[in-house]
Amino acid sequence: MVFDEDLAQRVRQLMKRRKGFSERKMFGGICFMLHGNMCCGVIRDRLMLRLGEKRAQKALQEPATREMDFTGKPLKSMIYVEQPGYASAEDLKYWINQAVKFAQSLPAKD
């Protein structure tokens, strides 16, 4: 597993106080879950977000974002945010809150 440990720790700090939080190694990185649903993660130095199709399409209009294409085929409900898009604490919190909002809309799996 190769992922930016500093970024993972920043995300962990924003996520760990949330009810239903857990971590799992996935996609060659680390994934943060809420009630068993994938929420966000870190793959190499990229922030990975699960936003749902509508929010993901809208988010792709923002700078430093791109489709998540882990399998070679874009995943319509997920995006990557490159380092300039999450550099500030405020930007990282914004993105994490977007993913949390989507994960909380899903039925719990745990």
Report the pLDDT value the prediction gives residue 83, as an integer from 0 to 100.
96
Report the pLDDT value the prediction gives residue 1, as an integer from 0 to 100.
62
Element at 5 (helix H, strand E): helix 5-15
CB 39 within 8 Å of CB 100: yes
Q: How many CA atoms lie within 13 A of 107 on its CB side?
A: 1
Kindly tell me if the per-residue pLDDT of 7 is higher than 90: yes
Report the pLDDT value the prediction gives residue 72, as an integer from 0 to 100.
82
Cβ within 8 Å of residue 98, ≥6 positions away: 49, 51, 55, 59
71-108 tens-digit pLDDT: 788 889 999 999 999 999 999 999 999 999 999 999 99
- Helices and strands, counts by H and E, the chain: 4, 6
Report the pLDDT value the prediction gives residue 70, as an integer from 0 to 100.
74
Sorted by where each starts, the structural domains of the chain and their CATH numbers stand as 5-104 (3.90.1150.30)
20-71 tens-digit pLDDT: 999 999 878 999 999 999 999 999 999 999 999 999 999 999 999 999 987 7
Report the pLDDT value the prediction gives residue 42, as an integer from 0 to 100.
97
Residues facing 41 on adjacent strands: 31, 48
Q: What is the mean pLDDT of residues 1-6?
A: 86
The per-residue DSSP string of 72-93 comes to: SS-EEEEEEE-HHHH-SHHHHH
Report the pLDDT value the prediction gives residue 21, as an integer from 0 to 100.
97
